[in-house]
Structures are given as structure tokens and as C-alpha cells.
Amino acid sequence: MRLSGRMSDSNRIEGKAVADGVLAQCRRDVEDLRARGIVPGLAVVLVGDDPASAFYVGSKERTCRELGFHSVKLEMPASTTERELLDTVRRLNADPAVHGILVQSPPPPHIDEAKVVEAIDPRKDVDGFHPVNVAGLALEDARAFTPCTPAGCMKLIEAAGAETRGAEVVVLGRSMIVGKPMALLLMAKGADATVTVAHSRTRDLAAVTRRADILIAAVGRPEMVRADFVKEGAVVIDVGINRVEDASAKRGYRIVGDVAFDEVAPKCRAITPVPGGVGPMTIAMLMSNTIKACRLQHGL
């Protein structure tokens, strides 16, 4: 793996700084669209009162306002039926002021999330989970929307100065939210990485991950990746967000990633912390996808 530059003062990849750069470009794009009489619009739908979901929705709404988007936040009770939610999505599909639609995941258990995703107009699916966009990602169709977290990970890899072309990359995790789209992005023309997708049942997992020039950890197990999983000089992107009990912490818990940061960081060329690494990128890429949706819908 060739590295095109060094981190400024440590091997930590600070997600907020990278996200701020993406958002700065979004502001310029919004100014350009407004000069044409166009205002990008994002609708976020929250069903139920899950505190974590409400926090994320609030963050998205604040970012929309700061960028000058037309922002729609619809809060629906946990008793909302699947049909009512689908009707809401269809109304948003038909609203020309709304260019992007996001239904906060997960919905209450009585609602089939796959049906909700499929009901969203693919042109407004700024989360990138509609089957049409998943197929577009696999086919390298520039019109397809890339899921926000994998897209953000690619920006962080770039910020670390890591060259993906010819590099051996291991994606630890095979979800449709991160693992699978991440692998597709890394294999695409231009990235040209050699990609292995591993998971918790991979035989001799540590031996597989130790081959990686770039390791993406997205398995959802707190601090599963230890020092012996990582080779010297690797770039590690930790997507995990896990709550673990900690009586010494003010809230009684702390947030950790899938990587044992203190143990692994000394071996890394660059590594994302948790929190503060991948997290800020997800919202930034959602804003970027919404601007892309707006441009496409206006034929720009």
C-alpha cells in the first residue's frame, strides 16, 4: 500500500474535520442551487420515541437548517400502522419540494422495514438502501445513491492518505448497511482494491484481518478487534458504535467501537476513534446525497 501523506499530528483520523470539509462543499452547492431558485429539501420521518433515534433525527434537522435546506421532520407515534407510514412515504414521494426521504431506522417491530424502504422513490432514497440503488452501486451507475456510512468511510480513507489501488482490504462485517456496499465501493473502478469480506464466523479471523493494508471494522461487537488482528502500519476504520456498562462513567456506560482503540492504535498508520470518527461522516454524506438528488431531479 502506498501512502500519499502523513497525518498532521497523530495517527487519529478526526471525522469531524473531514465532515466539516464535506459540509463546506455542501454549503457552496446550496448557494449555487439557491441562485437558480432551487432549495434542496430533505424529509426525515421518525416513528416512535426511541431516544437514540430522536437524537440522530435532531442532528440531521439541525444540519439541514445550518446548510439552508428545506427541512421536514415528521414525528409519528409508535402506534402508527405500517399502512399509515407507507401512505406518508407516498405523500413525500409526490412532494416536489422534497428531494430526499429518510425513514429513521429501526421502525417499531410491527412495521416491515423492507416494505418501507421499497416504497421510497429511488430518486429520493438518499440512504441508498432501495433495491434500485443497491443494484446501481453494484453496476457502478453514477446516478445511484451510496449508503452514507460507507461513503463516509471512503472519505476517511482518502483523508488518511491511503492508496486503495492494489491494496489488500478486509471488510469485517457483511451487513447491507455497511459491509456489502463498502466492499462494492472498494472494488469499483478507481478504487481498485483487492477485497475480502470477513465476519464473526470466519475461520482464523485474526489471520485474515492481519493481511489487511486497510481494515474496515463493522461487525457490531465491542472491541472485538485486538492488536493481534492488525498488521503493523495498517489503516483501520472503526464503524462500530457499542454501548458498554461502565460504573465509573457519568452515565453508567461508555461508547466504544468494534476496535480496542488503545491496544490497536500504536500499530496503525492511521485509525478512527469512537466516538468522533465515522459518526460525523454519516450525516455529512446524507446532506451530500440530498444535494445530488436535488440536482438529478432538476436535470442538473
- Report, as residue numbers or ranges, the catalytic residues: 60, 104, 127
Would you state the cell numbers that stand for residue 130, as one nine-digit string? 432501495
User: What does the alpha-carbon distance between residue 184 and residue 243 come to, in Å, rounded to a whole number?
Assistant: 29
User: What does the alpha-carbon distance between residue 74 and residue 81 come to, in Å, rounded to a whole number?
Assistant: 15
Gyration radius of the chain over CA positions: 19
Q: What is the DSSP letter of 144?
A: S
Nearest to 219 by CA among 175, 256, 189: 175
Within a 13 Å sphere around the CA of 264, how many CA atoms are in the beta-carbon half? Answer: 29
Q: CB neighbours of 20 closer than 8 A, spacing ≥ 6? A: 284
User: What does the alpha-carbon distance between residue 197 and residue 49 come to, in Å, rounded to a whole number?
Assistant: 35
DSSP lists the bridge partners of residue 259 as 225
At 15, which helix (H) or strand (E)? Answer: helix 15-35
Determine how many CB atoms are found less than 10 A away from the CB of residue 210: 16
User: What does the alpha-carbon distance between residue 107 and residue 156 come to, in Å, rounded to a whole number?
Assistant: 29
CB 278 within 8 A of CB 242: no
DSSP lists the bridge partners of residue 43 as 72, 101
Nearest to 177 by CA among 146, 143, 214, 212: 146
- Which residue type does 81 have? T
